Amino acid sequence: MIDPASACIEFMRPGQICSCRDKADVAFLPLGALEWHGIHSPVGTDAIKSRGVCCAAAQKLGGGAVFPPLVWGVPRDSFFMDNNGGHDDLIASAYGIDDEVTKVISPHGGVDQQEQWLAYQRLVRMSLEQIAGFGFRSIYICSGHNPLVHWARPVAKAFSRVTLMAGHPVTTDWGGEFDAAGLSGDHAGKWETSLMLALAPHSVDLGEIDCQPEYRGAGAGADAVEASAQQGQAWLDACATAIANEARWLVDNYPQLPARHANKR
């Protein structure tokens, strides 16, 4: 089990921030979302696992700090399982709500989806500025909700360019929790459920699937029942080791930017 207090900046005193930065001048920014992860897993799975992977990476790196996850639950578009078009009514019934609530509110929320994504990008930018304000020269963005990478990536690239022009470069890198390790994930299936069993076992209840079999495979991987804490720990170690290596590259090669930024990941 990972002790978040050993790596998370919100638990650190000023002197500890200096110390962790001296050991490895890099900060980790986890990204997540609030959405359906099956009847068996918590809605905050994306943020929990991205923060857990970042904490493990910081421990392997021997320094650096993990910032609080940036959790985003809207817009309610096709990137969120709560609104995936195939299990809306079933998912709504699990929450004990009327699916018409989201169908009515979302189109009339006052801003369109493009404006909502722009608002999200501003939040990412503000987060990067706050991290740089604590003196960190490199930032690794780790997304537990993969679509968020597509909106965070251009913000990170622009932030690096602006800080370079200002004479105080802040280098950035990014990816999903499994990208650096060359692995692939799923949605609330064996991958995510195993990671959650390793990181927050008390938040997962596979027995819910047995009790309510109609939810097996409903907006979630049907192979979730095959998940195990042992497998989750193995995947966690692989992801954390690979991300720690990428973070080490940022530290050792500052102020260069990694060539992999040209990749379309």
Three-state secondary structure of 38-85 = CCCCCCCHHHHHHHHHHHHHHHHHCCCEECCCEEECCCCCCCCHHHCC
pLDDT over 50 at 204, yes or no: yes
Structure tokens at 23: 């050991």
The b/e string for 127-142 (b: 16+ C-beta within 10 A; e otherwise) is: bbeebbeeebbbbbbb
Q: Please tell me the distance from the alpha carbon of residue 232 to that of residue 237, in angstroms, as a whole number.
A: 9
Instruction: Confirm if 201 and 236 have CB atoms less than 8 A apart.
Output: no
Q: Please tell me the distance from the alpha carbon of residue 142 to that of residue 124, in angstroms, as a whole number.
A: 12
C-alpha angle 208-94-204 in degrees, rounded to nearest 5: 35
Residue 259 binned pLDDT confidence (cut-offs 50, 70, 90): confident
> What type of residue sits at position 204?
V
pLDDT mean over 145-149: 90
Give 14-72 pLDDT, tens digit per residue. 999 999 999 999 999 999 999 999 999 999 999 999 999 999 999 999 999 999 999 98
Query: What is the per-residue pLDDT for 245?
Result: 97
Q: Please tell me the distance from the alpha carbon of residue 205 to that of residue 52, in angstroms, as a whole number.
A: 19
Q: Please tell me the distance from the alpha carbon of residue 3 to that of residue 80, in angstroms, as a whole number.
A: 29
Structure tokens at 63: 């320094």
Residue 100 binned pLDDT confidence (cut-offs 50, 70, 90): confident
Spatial neighbors of 148 by CB under 8 A, at least 6 apart, are 31, 33, 72, 120
Domain covering 4-182+238-262 in this structure, CATH number: 3.40.50
Query: What is the per-residue pLDDT for 263?
Result: 43
Query: What is the per-residue pLDDT for 77?
Result: 63
pLDDT over 90 at 220, yes or no: yes
* Range list of β-strands (E), the chain: 27-33, 65-66, 70-72, 138-143, 171-176
Instruction: Confirm if 85 and 48 have CB atoms less than 8 A apart.
Output: no
Tell me if residue 26 falls in helix, strand or coil: coil
Q: What are phi and psi of 138, to 5 degrees?
A: -135, 145
**How many CB atoms sit inside 10 A of residue 217's CB?**
16
Q: Please tell me the distance from the alpha carbon of residue 172 to that of residue 38, in angstroms, as a whole number.
A: 33
**How many CB atoms sit inside 10 A of residue 259's CB?**
7
pLDDT mean over 178-187: 95
Q: Whole-number mean pLDDT of the chain?
A: 90
Phi-psi region of 180 (alpha: psi -120 to 50; beta: other; left: phi over 0): alpha
Domain ranges of the chain: 4-182+238-262
Residue 83 binned pLDDT confidence (cut-offs 50, 70, 90): low
Q: Does a cis peptide bond (omega within 30 degrees of 0) precede residue 75? A: yes
pLDDT over 90 at 9, yes or no: yes
